[in-house]
Structure 1
């Protein structure tokens, strides 16, 4: 018989709905049952594209003998970490406080009051059964000891950030020397041979390279640019990138960007669209343009819902084998490519025995198109014709295979990252299809993932149903995407929507307890949401930037576009509080560091008025100049930067201002660049 997960919408929870384990979703029913029956709780946290989550299910949770032990002695709760990042964050923090290396599947043991006392990640079935027995015995015979331990971890979780990290209110120091220090913290850990950071596995970590691009814009440090382009080149040519179909996998298991963990996540690809588009605007590398166009084609083909939102992820596995969908045997390559096999295998480093496991090959490159064409004595046009023909044939073969599983829930925050990526790609390349996708996505989010009754966002959506009160990262990412969309279109409603969501955040996510180290950093959860054993603030930038760092930049951008000094003041207070932490651990707070880079020099406030406002905007966006905000109109506008400003001599006119001091209006793009470069 199906368990209680059968009523959920999460693909990950539904995968476990027919387990013999009597799983419950996180909620009052399960927590009340634990209290009523006085049983310890197992909270097992994972996500749909998690390879080892599937393995543990197959080895343990599908087995009657294991399920019997779990059901008799515990209340068992399954959590999709992507649906409930608040629950995941609390118990991940707890497990790490226990000295356990975090990861997923995350299995945490709780007292009946939901306070944690022990946790592990993946365990083989016999080890898992042995642990269950030990925990059950300890709960019966040493309950007081477990309760004291759980109380200690709960106290640790409820420490304020001021206590945990020694953060104090302070004025931020926006100075080149400060920025140089941040850069050195990152550079010393960067891999200057293979790109990325000097460790394996290698994750894309877009916020690191975004910081280095902004640091380069301020400092002109060629080392920062060289490290960034090395990383972007190696990722784009590596096995972490789907060389046939486009899109990035979550990480490379090795230090070479060669063998990915094959799942594809929306949050990676949304951020990498922004990163590669920005990098192209600086370097004009054709490879980066190819990555943006092909990744958008992948997302449109494989992740786009009929309603305009984007699904969450594709699994690593198909037919129970990791990477089977994406890799090829030498025989398959020979049969499909015929006389083109030799040069194709050379380019993609495939050997006659396969370059990976089980005699299969991952398509992986070490040469750019132009370098390979030169070595072969071909023109670029000739190579492109050959590549297109080979890719079409291999894609046709691949499309006949069993596809990886699709996690078809739609997450608000990840779609906000994709909205920013699409809008940025449009701003850089001017491709109308990119704008169409961005507009559809924005309409979808505001129509389907916002509660019309109170203006709050929902976190997740599936099958026409939105649920779970939004978290701070939902607001931060959507606001960021809307601000990019406004600057791409000059449609003021997007700016107004961003401001309304910001006002909701400043009402419902602030720290209002002024007697206990309250600060201007924002809680991850809505004050109207479910009360958990701790209410945390997200500070550290990881594979996704922290929600506080994103909101600090949103507040700064809105302060300029809407003339809201209070927003800038709050952003500065947030920066001042975290600055000592960034100085110590800049490689884990690079999105904060990127905002420090913007604040080191005055931000250009660029107002464009006149019939050619969009053309002027496109020419300004085509070049890399991150420290600016754009607003514009073809007519009249009441926005502060546009109010009472009009064309000069009926020509489209640009007003460039810094710190509320404006330069003389100009009527040519060259003149605008002259004003911008004076300050840069």
Structure 2
């Protein structure tokens, strides 16, 4: 029930111990992080359900939560017409009105829709058994059943779109947008979906172009005037906080790894340099949540704990480690290491409160895979080699690439001195810039990654 079976996307939380009845509000940051989580789970076990959840959730965000300018809205309300959940629930009669008898019978059985209902006389659609078990129980072909459910979902989604929708909080927040465009970019790369890559790029460039003040400082929020048109707006508001900068840098690096467009690394470096100048405290060697230009408080805030989203400091450390590996700038890594050291007592005392810091520590202390891929993006061989890399869950991966590479390119130490073998797509697997022999086939690359 916490997952929208018809339109995709997750509600903020459940109000019962069975996760059946949600608080129907949907938050951008929840869905961004859940897409990333399901994506990594899919890389590990290739469960088709996880792919379906990714596709439907990103479809929901693209369809209902995206501003014409490319920004993502913050949330959708729980209620419509003053009634909580009204937009999302169904009765048997409503199924009978929009579906033929056969489809209506299947839909009621599959989603447990009854006359009594499970929520204030109506039904929250839920699937208590997996598709395979349902198909076996009802003696149906699983593939045909999946196609029928997908077709019925499309009919119900069209019908539901005629209802009065929940209100949209159309604030565009830099940090939450960065989480979401990162999810679009990573999913687009894994599933080779150029539409998702385009959405990620449009959002990132929107943030780069709009979310800055006249001094070039990153801003926290943007407010569209209404949900139908963004021609008028209240404009950008409030200087960006540490998490705005950190999440944005992290997302830009992922967008580079998804496109191999070095523009995104240059943008990430510029933003990281601003972050260091404005949030880094030289004396204590940590990042603070507010910049020097924010309102002065009695105590300058520094929230080290993970909450609904990771702490800004942990993502700052992780993104600087990634950026250092790609650019060779040791100052990024040294600041990340210093900030991580300050968290060691908390990691020992209450590790579950600082899991993002532990992830950054793992990146720092583990030999991460540095993989370089060179070749024409239209070459099927390069596509196969990229597929070999992206199909694996490699949590500390640093991925670099170029379309037509000059071995004398000084942009990244990972790219410098590397060339294609016989003019064909070539992969280099490295650790700390020390590379194995270059390979020119997916099978050879697989052997080096195993």
Q: Which has the higher helix share?
A: 1
How far is 1:556 from its partner? Answer: 0.7
The residue aligned with 1:131 is: none
**Aligned positions of 1:118-129 closer than 5 A:** none
Equivalent positions of 1:511-522 (< 5 A) are: 511-512=281-282, 514=283, 518=284, 520-522=285-287
1:266 Cα offset (Å): 0.8
**Cα pair 1:556 1:571 within 8 Å, conserved:** yes
Structure 2 residue aligned with 1:649: 422
CA contact 1:247–1:269 (8 Å) conserved in 2 = yes
1:467 aligns with one of 237, 241, 245: 237
Instruction: Output aligned runs, 1:214-293, within 5 Å.
Output: 239-293=1-55
Instruction: Report how many aligned residue pairs link the two structures.
Output: 432
Q: Name the residue aligned to 2:73.
A: 311
The aligned counterpart of 1:565 is 330
Name the SS of the counterpart of 1:359 in structure 2.
Answer: coil
The residue aligned with 2:445 is 672
1:601-638: per-residue Cα shift (whole Å, max 9, x none)? 31111122233556533431122222210111122232
Contact 2:388 2:446 in 1 (8 A): no
Q: 1:439 aligns with which of 173, 177, 201?
A: 201
* d(CA) in 1 for partners of 2:351, 2:84: 34
Q: Deviations over 1:287-315 (max 9, x none)?
A: 11111111111111111101011111100
Match of 1:347 in 2: 110
1:630 aligns with 2:399: yes
Quote the residue 1:374 is aligned against: 136
Query: Alpha-carbon deviation of 1:662?
Result: 2.2
Note if contact 1:261-1:316 (Cα within 8 Å) is conserved in structure 2.
Answer: yes
The aligned counterpart of 1:605 is 370
Partners of 2:103 and 2:152 within 8 A in 1:
yes
Counterpart contact for 2:388–2:445, Cα < 8 Å: no
Q: How far, CA to CA, are the matches of 1:395 and 1:490 in structure 2?
A: 36
The structural deviation recorded for 1:384 is 2.6
Query: Which runs of structure 2 are paired with 1:151-170 in the superposition (5 Å)?
Result: none
C-alpha deviation, 1:600, in angstroms: 4.6
Q: Distance in 1 between matches of 2:13 and 2:363?
A: 29
Q: Distance in 1 between matches of 2:112 and 2:352?
A: 32
Deviation at 1:494, TM superposition (A): 0.2
Alignment of 1:486 onto 2:256: yes
Determine the C-alpha separation between the residues in 2 that align with 1:566 and 1:294: 41
2: CA distance between counterparts of 1:608 and 1:329? 53
| Paired residues for 1:42-57 under 5 Å | none
Gaps of 5+ in 1: 1-238
Alignment match, 1:661: 434
Deviations 1:23-61 (A, max 9, x none): xxxxxxxxxxxxxxxxxxxxxxxxxxxxxxxxxxxxxxx
- Whether contact under 8 Å (1:270, 1:417) holds in the other structure is yes
1:528 Cα deviation (Å)? 1.2
Aligned to 2:237, the other structure's residue is in SS state strand
Provide the secondary structure at the position in 2 that maps to 1:416: helix
Structure with larger RCO (C-alpha < 8 A, sep 6+): 1
In the alignment, which residue of structure 2 is the partner of 1:330?
92
Q: Retained in 2: the 8 A contact 1:246–1:297?
A: yes
Once the two structures are superposed, residues 534-579 of structure 1 have per-residue CA deviations (whole angstroms, 9 ceiling, x without a partner) of: 3201211111111011111001101110112222222222222212
Task: Tell whether the 8 Å contact from 1:419 to 1:478 is kept in structure 2 after alignment.
Answer: no
Alpha-carbon contact 2:325-2:398 (below 8 Å) kept: yes
1:430 maps to 2:430: no
Q: Distance in 1 between matches of 2:150 and 2:387?
A: 30
Distance, in Å, in 2 between the alignment partners of 1:491 and 1:334 is 51
What whole-Å deviation, never above 9, does each CA across 1:361-392 have from its counterpart, x for those lacking one? 11111112222122221123321332133223
Please list every run of 5 or more consecutive structure 2 residues that lacks an aligned counterpart in the other structure: 225-232
- Secondary structure at 2:281's aligned position in 1? coil
SS at match of 2:342: helix
Q: Specify the alignment match of 1:546 in structure 2.
A: 311
- DSSP 3-state at the match of 1:630: strand
- Give the Cα–Cα distance (whole angstroms) in 1 for the partners of residues 190 and 349 of structure 2: 34
| Paired position in structure 2 for 1:153 | none
RMSD: 1.8
Give the TM-score normalised by the residue count of structure 1.
0.61
Q: Which residue of 2 aligns with 1:585?
A: 350
Contact residue 67 and residue 73 of structure 2 kept, 8 A: yes
- Distance in 2 (CA, whole Å) between partners of 1:670 and 1:396 is 45
- Render the CA deviation track for 1:335-385: whole Å, top value 9, x for unaligned: 4343433332232233330012x2111111111222212222112332133
| Residue pair 1:610, 1:646 contacting (<8 A) in 2 also | no
1:575 and 1:533 mapped to 2: Cα distance? 25
Aligned residue in 2 for 1:524:
289
1:588–1:493 CA distance, 2 compared to 1 (3 A): same
Residues 489 and 393 from structure 1, CA distance in 2 versus in 1: closer, same or farther, beyond 3 angstroms?
closer
Contact 2:428 2:438 in 1 (8 A): yes
Q: Distance in 1 between matches of 2:76 and 2:16?
A: 21
Could you say which residue in structure 1 is the equivalent of 2:219?
Answer: 458
Match status 1:414 vs 2:184: no
Q: Secondary structure of 2:287's match?
A: coil
